[in-house]
């Protein structure tokens, strides 16, 4: 009986050593189950998000389809087709003016950034040159001091070698103290020389600082030029004796056109005016002079809310009676010129630099 019990313990011991660890396996199963549940929850959230996006896209598609159906219905009838054409041509006129000013501002930004970037690099090079000159002077001084200290130690060492007799004992001790002091000076000179060389290497390896972007005066000048360009476009369209700017602004603010452009005959005449307007705003002759003349006035009257603002206050740009009478470049149509910044003509607020 006792022998059987011993064999049973032996069998139990062998089973525990050879079998896998049940506790670790159970823990691994629970861990895997938790990870699977977490992944399943994430997939469910992603599914719900994608379903919401599909619903939103379906709604947007439905709205676009409704607009297309409405437009198709309007174009199918002569009485409503002509006003619809006028409506979209007015929107295109507004977009054309905005694109002209946007491209103008982009060109000015590119040119000014190039100039300021070169000036920024030149200023960095001047600072580096001054630092390099100072570091070179310090290096030459350190080299001279190191060479002098080295020669002094070598001279003392030669004197020490000459004092080889026993009666030179006290002289040797005094000379050894002088040698120790000279070696300390040499060590200091070596440290100064090493530091001067490190400074030279640091200056040579220092990269130019990142360009901080356009300066505030440059951004203000570009914004004033953009406002002047917007005023020039408005003045050119004023030659047509038709409030195309106001009509284009109203058309841009609506999603669908109305029937308020008159009968087909009037719509045809209005479309002819819009075609002439495209030619007027795209004309390049004298554009630079007109923008320059209007920018001069804007520089004198522009006021800013804060010292760091790049866009002027809209109220400060409004034309007054004195401006119309005294400033010849404004022309006789200046009295009818809108405040392009206050009225956000050509979407100026989206174009101006911040």
Q: How far apart are CA 280 and CA 294, in angstroms?
A: 18
Same domain, 100 and 46: no
249: helix, strand or coil = helix
Same domain, 226 and 144: no
Residue 191, by phi and psi: left (phi above 0), alpha (psi -120 to 50) or beta?
A: alpha
Same domain, 219 and 292: yes
Number of structural domains found in the chain: 3
| Residue 210 and residue 149 in contact, taking contact as beta carbons nearer than 8 Å | no
Q: Please check whether residue 322 lies inside any domain of the structure.
A: yes
Same domain, 118 and 129: no
Same domain, 48 and 172: no
Q: How far apart are CA 242 and CA 246, in angstroms?
A: 9
The pLDDT tens digits for 141-193 are: 888 888 888 888 888 788 777 777 777 777 778 877 888 888 888 888 888 88
pLDDT at res. 333: 52
pLDDT at res. 10: 45
Q: Please check whether residue 65 lies inside any domain of the structure.
A: no
Q: How far apart are CA 191 and CA 208, in angstroms?
A: 28
Neighbouring CB atoms inside 10 A of 249's CB total 18
Q: How far apart are CA 312 and CA 112, in angstroms?
A: 20
Same domain, 164 and 189: yes
What global pTM score does this model have?
A: 0.68
Q: How far apart are CA 84 and CA 42, in angstroms?
A: 49
- Give pLDDT < 50 ranges for the chain: 1-4, 6-15, 18-19, 321-329, 335
Domain end call among 171, 205, 239: 205
The pLDDT tens digits for 261-285 are: 778 888 889 889 999 999 999 999 9
Same domain, 100 and 231: yes
Same domain, 266 and 154: no
Domain end call among 175, 205, 235: 205
Same domain, 106 and 225: yes
User: Which alpha helices (H) appear in 19-77, and where do they start and end?
Assistant: 22-75
Q: Please check whether residue 75 lies inside any domain of the structure.
A: no
Domain extent at residue 39: 2-55
Q: Please check whether residue 304 lies inside any domain of the structure.
A: yes
63, two tokens: 């709205």
pLDDT at res. 323: 47
pLDDT at res. 71: 62
Same domain, 224 and 114: yes
Same domain, 93 and 220: yes
Q: Please check whether residue 295 lies inside any domain of the structure.
A: yes
Same domain, 272 and 287: yes
């Amino acid at each position: 009986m006792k022998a059987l019990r011993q064999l049973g313990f032996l069998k139990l011991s062998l089973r525990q050593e050879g079998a896998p660890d049940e506790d670790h396996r159970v823990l691994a199963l629970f861990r895997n189950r938790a990870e699977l549940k977490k992944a399943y929850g994430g997939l469910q959230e992603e599914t719900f998000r994608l379903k919401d996006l599909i619903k939103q896209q379906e709604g947007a598609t439905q709205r676009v389809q409704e607009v297309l159906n409405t437009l198709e219905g309007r174009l199918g009838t002569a009485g409503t087709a002509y006003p619809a054409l006028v409506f979209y041509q007015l929107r295109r006129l507004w977009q054309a003016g905005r694109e002209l000013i946007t491209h103008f501002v982009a060109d000015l930004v590119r040119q000014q950034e190039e100039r300021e970037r070169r000036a920024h690099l030149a200023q960095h090079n001047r600072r580096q040159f001054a630092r390099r000159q100072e570091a070179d002077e310090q290096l030459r001084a350190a080299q001279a001091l190191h060479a002098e200290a080295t020669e002094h130690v070598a001279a003392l060492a030669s004197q020490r070698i000459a004092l080889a007799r026993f009666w030179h004992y006290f002289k040797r001790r005094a000379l050894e103290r002088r040698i120790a002091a000279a070696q300390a000076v040499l060590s200091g000179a070596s440290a100064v020389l090493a530091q001067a060389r490190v400074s030279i290497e640091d200056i040579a390896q220092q990269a130019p600082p990142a360009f901080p972007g356009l300066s505030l005066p440059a951004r203000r000048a570009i914004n004033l030029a953009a406002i002047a360009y917007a005023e020039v476009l408005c003045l050119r369209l004023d030659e047509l004796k038709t409030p195309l700017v106001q009509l284009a602004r109203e058309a841009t603010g609506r999603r669908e056109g109305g029937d308020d452009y008159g009968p087909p005959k009037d719509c045809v005449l209005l479309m002819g005016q819009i075609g002439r307007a495209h030619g007027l705003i795209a004309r390049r002759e004298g554009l630079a002079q007109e923008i320059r003349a209007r920018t001069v006035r804007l520089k004198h009257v522009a006021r800013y809310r804060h010292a760091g603002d790049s866009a002027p206050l809209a109220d400060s740009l409004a034309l007054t009676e004195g401006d119309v009478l005294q400033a010849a470049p404004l022309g006789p149509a200046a009295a009818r010129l809108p405040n392009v910044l206050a009225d956000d003509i050509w979407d100026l607020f989206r174009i101006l630099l911040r």
